[in-house]
Chains A and B, each alone.
Chain A
């Protein structure tokens, strides 16, 4: 006959089983929520890159899976399709989406940047000289907005310029091969073109012509059903912004490595970008209204389209809640 089990063993086993039951039943402290983030791959999305690199999503309770897209329009499509929870887009594709009645929302602006210049052959000395020239741009992007404003500033009509739709990589090869006389796009393509044929091309800068807003976007439905996750994401981005301000060189290096940009070029551009997780609603809404009206007037939007209520598109409550939560 087996000797009876000691009382201490029985108590230990019971305690162990109770502890296991408690662990299983109780939600873990700082339980992470899964999100999918649709991210662009340009220098303007640095706060997202920093948040990825420093695992800031995890620190704020998010189990983030990052999917990269070459354009904000594709990020918006993935969000609308339900593949991404939130992501990055500039104000232009958001404006075009809103014009078409799509329920996309802006939660915050992470930076503003005068991102575009005209890179052209050196015989184009001033913006007025682009009359009759072949100028490339990327249709449906804010580069198209920039070109429209450039023509306006130069006192030219759209018909006075041969505007050619090209992808950015083709702009550089097209300019080098002589197929186009200039293009409107951002870095690093500007530097690539200038370096490709030293002395043949130059930048024509028009300060104040157009400022890009890099925004955090999601859908109305996600705001209603996953508000805590979005607030956590904004807290992570605020932390990333703090890091960028505190360690700009390290942040630039981290971003350059992720987006495969020359680190020297990234350091050069960095001071031109106004990093700040913020939301100047009125300024942003005014810009979106202006772009929306341009889309209607130029025929980009469907005939008969009315400007949507951009006050509903730009949602400020979550950013305020995120800041409040961080200050507590």
Chain B
């Protein structure tokens, strides 16, 4: 993915520079309090100081580890439960009311309880992130598996596939767009919850840096934390998209090339079109 010097890219660069230029001018103008709205150059200086001391790297490392562990554990559990509930109607009937109730409870509400249950170590923070990640992934997985096109099942049955083969080669690939959409949304949720999770007895972390800086009126450092959080979000989404393209090359490729793409094991990958009914209660895009 190279950077091409075309009109839209130039406009993007100029727009960004204009924004930061205006911000710098406003902060230095005396019209606003320079401490409460520090100039981008001040923020850059603070960020550089934090980088030189190694403190920023330590905060970033701690946050990344928590975010990854929370995201992975929440997603794995959510996919497993979503698939199980879609495939086993009795399980769905038994636990769906509970899951819907818990879905309404935000991670922030659990912070004091998380400390009580799991202590002030990493477990409480990972739990909070996993809680936040779980529900968008669960609901998308459930809908994707539940609403897989019956034509695919008949086609698979006519080719002799049943049981686990039907599940592995038809149901899961058909649900994949929904699952990927849920995972993508949960990526940003993980970072949002990270800040709340680092309220729970953290000594390092980007969320901790933001809160600590706010406590002592270091708004410049707060902005450093916010920018790092933004960069983390952007990078996570970029890497996620690249990973999806690599692992599932047929996903989205049909939209790009206009041709059907051969999927795994040489079989034609099912074309998944967005069904408005499948959007009900779910979040995110479809292929």
Contacts and interface: CB of A to CB of B under 8 A. Distances in A.
A141 to B, nearest CB: 7
Most chain A beta carbons < 10 A, residue from B49, B212, B216:
B216
Contact of B49 (A140, A179, A303): A303
Interface in B31-53: 33-36, 46, 49
Contacts of A93: 217
Contacts of A173: 112-113, 115-116
Given A73-B215, A167-B199, A179-B201, A80 B112 contact: no
Given A100-B35, A164-B203, A141 B115 contact: no
* Contact count band on A: 20 to 34
Nearest to A93: B217
A174 B218 contact: no
Contacts, number: 80
A96 B201 CA distance: 22
Interface string A138-179: 011100000000000000000000001111011001101111
Given A169-B112, A179-B119, A179-B120, A174 B217 contact: no
A93 B214 CA distance: 11
Given A166-B120, A177-B119, A179-B120, A301 B216 contact: yes
A295 B217 CA distance: 12
A264 interface: no
B202 interface: yes
Contact of B217 (A96, A139, A170, A303): A96
Interface string B99-120: 0000000000001110111011
A302 B213 CA distance: 11
Given A100-B35, A165-B201, A165-B202, A170 B215 contact: no
28 contacts: A73-B214, A81-B36, A93-B217, A101-B34, A102-B36, A139-B211, A139-B212, A140-B212, A140-B214, A140-B216, A141-B215, A166-B201, A167-B112, A169-B112, A173-B112, A173-B113, A173-B116, A174-B115, A174-B120, A174-B201, A176-B116, A177-B116, A177-B117, A179-B120, A180-B120, A180-B201, A302-B220, A303-B49
Interface of A: 73, 80-81, 93, 96-97, 99-102, 134, 136, 139-141, 164-167, 169-170, 173-174, 176-180, 295, 300-303
Report, nearest first, the 3 A-B pairs whose CB atoms are least far apart.
A140-B215, A179-B119, A173-B116
